[in-house]
Amino acid sequence: MRTPIIAGNWKMNKTAAQAVDLVAEMRSDLEAAEGVECVVCPPYLAVPDVARLLVDSTVAVGCQDVYWKESGAFTGEVAAVMAAEFCQYAIIGHSERREYFGETDQSVNSKIKGALAAGLVPIVCVGESLELRQAEKTESWIIGQLHGAFEGISVEQAIGIVIAYEPIWAIGTGLAATAEEAERVCGQVVRATLTELYGSGVAEQIRVQYGGSVNAGNAAELLAKPNIDGALVGGASLKAADFVTIVRAAQAQSRAR
């Protein structure tokens, strides 16, 4: 049985001091959620302080991006091996990174390999724009993203990777995909493609999250679906009570399964 994973992507929000306060506010509730992996992903400058706060905790720390080179003249970048000093997870290929900073399927693939080499668990984001959805190209687009992301990734490596299906049209808009549509894409597109690449036995072990306007009100319905193994949470992860509610919804579904 796949363990649900709830990750909070804080994006460019919270100073280091504010990040510590937020984690301190919800730490005990997150630690009490048995059967669920909880991950907080603050901005890079807040990562060390949050990591120190959670050093003996079951709550994991993630970063929002990594670079694949271990060192060198790459001003402004943070190597995966550097992040691994503080983090256990790394978000890779988020649609905002693709749209605003020129990320491609090839750079996503390189970052996944760099993260794996450093001992980080990649949370790999895929998803379609509104234009692609309206053109009925959701399936082909996501299949292409997955093929690009997993190029040269072994079976053993693939099993540990987390996939986050995030329809771009639902990120930060308040327009979440229906639970049925999220389940369809997570199962019939994402997991089906993983089955094509690695076989059903491996695909059934890989966790697939949903992300895109996940909140305290819709989390339970989304997480009840059999192919949705957690959530990559944006705005709601900045509110302690909302994030805890989402984690508790995942815990309830874990127990039900």
Where in the sequence numbering do the catalytic residues fall?
A: 94, 166
Helix and strand counts by DSSP (H, E) for the chain: 13, 8
H/E segment holding residue 189: none
Report which secondary-structure segment, H or E, holds 164: strand 162-165
Q: Residue 4 in contact with residue 253, Cβ under 8 Å?
A: yes
**Residue 39, strand partner residues:** 7, 60
At residue 129, the 3 state secondary structure works out as coil
Cα–Cα dist 120/62, whole Å: 9
d(CA 256, CA 248): 12
Of 160, 177, 180, 173, residue with least CA distance to 224: 180
CA distances from 252 to 77, 79, 161, 247 (A): 39, 37, 24, 9
**Two tokens at 201?**
């036995």
- H/E run at residue 110: helix 105-118
- Measured CA to CA, the distance from residue 249 to residue 245 in angstroms comes to 6
Assign residue 168 a region (left: φ > 0; alpha: ψ between -120 and 50; beta: otherwise): alpha
